[in-house]
Chains A and B, each alone.
Chain A
Amino acid sequence: MDTKRKRELTFLTIGILMLLIVIAYTFASIRFLLTNLDEAFSANSIEQPSPLRFNLEKAEAIIE
């Protein structure tokens, strides 16, 4: 009886350990996916180019 309980406990412990590993990895994967989605589609993840204009005011100031 004692040996049977020990075996059940061993299987249960290993089962729980495996389950914990799978859960941890699932969370890590979801987190990785969300981070990458944010990086791919967030407005802040790309650089806003500065508008290109003639600097007429400065040119006028030099000539005046």
Chain B
Amino acid sequence: MDFKKALVRNISWSAAVLILMIAFLIFLGMDVSDRVALIKSQRQDLLLRLHAFDSLAALRSDVGRAEELSISLENSLPARDQLINFSNALEEIATDNGLEFGFSFESESASTETTPGINNFTITSQGTYANFVRFLNEVEDSRYFVGFSLIDLTSRNGEFAITMKGRVFSR
């Protein structure tokens, strides 16, 4: 009976010490994890700042050329107001190439910081295929940035009835 009591007492003490030790280590482990997260975040912050200095130096050295290019890029697209002349310019090209010409603006979306303004339009025309190809080449060489999403050619009395949907980009 004495042995059993002694055994239970010894095991209880040992178990209590072990439980305390484990609890302390779990607490310590949580603290270590928090500190590791803090160290990682501070190191990341430091690295970001170092890179920011490097980037600043590199950007400063290129800023002159970047400004020139930025102005050129901005001026390469016509202002929205200048698109008033767009249909006239296309009509002139079409007339020069012996094509009949009809034009209407469909819809528009204003420019944002990252995308240019987009103005959708439809052209209806009639003429020979060769004239039509010349017309397209001249539109491509014009000062306007134009993209066509639909070109529909229908043969009619040796000529073609042409419907084109496209968009012109603006500032």
Which A residues from 13 to 46 make CB contacts under 8 A with B?
A: 14, 18, 21-22, 25, 29, 32-33, 36, 39-41, 45-46
Closest to B75 in A: A63
B29 at the interface (CB under 8 A from A): yes
- Complex CA distance for A22 and B15, rounded to whole angstroms: 11
CB-defined contacts of A18 to chain B, threshold 8 Å = 14, 18
How distant is A43 from chain B, measured CB to nearest CB, in Å?
9
If A7-B3, A14-B10 touch, whether A51 touches B54 (CB-CB below 8 Å) is yes
The complex places the Cα of A22 from the Cα of B17 at a distance, in Å, of 11
- Check B11 against A14 for contact (C-beta < 8 Å): yes
A59 within 8 A of partner (CB): yes
Q: How large is the interface on B (under 10, 10 to 19, 20 to 34, 35 or more residues)?
A: 20 to 34
Chain A residues with Cβ under 8 A from B35's Cβ?
Answer: 40
The majority secondary structure among interface residues of chain B is helix
Interfacial residues of chain B within 29-84, with CB under 8 A of chain A in the complex:
29, 32-33, 35-36, 39-40, 43-44, 47-48, 51, 54-55, 58-59, 62-63, 65-66, 69-70, 72-73, 76
State the interface size on chain A (CB cutoff 8 A). Answer: 29
Q: Give the interface SS of chain A, mostly helix, strand, loop or mixed.
A: helix
* Cβ-defined contact, A62 with B62, below 8 A: no
Report the minimum CB–CB distance from A49 to chain B (whole Å): 5
Q: Is the CB of A47 within 8 A of B44?
A: yes
Q: Which of B22, B40, B76 contacts A46 (CB 8 A)?
A: B40
Cα–Cα distance between A21 and B62 once the two chains are bound (Å): 64
Separation of A59 and B66 alpha carbons in the complex (Å): 9
Interface of B with A (CB < 8 Å)?
A: 3, 7, 10-11, 14, 18, 21-22, 25, 29, 32-33, 35-36, 39-40, 43-44, 47-48, 51, 54-55, 58-59, 62-63, 65-66, 69-70, 72-73, 76
Going nearest first, the 10 A-B pairs with the smallest beta carbon separation are A52-B55, A59-B69, A54-B66, A40-B39, A40-B36, A49-B51, A36-B36, A54-B62, A46-B44, A63-B72
Residues on A close to B: CB < 8 A? Answer: 7, 10-11, 14, 18, 21-22, 25, 29, 32-33, 36, 39-41, 45-49, 51-54, 56, 59-60, 62-63
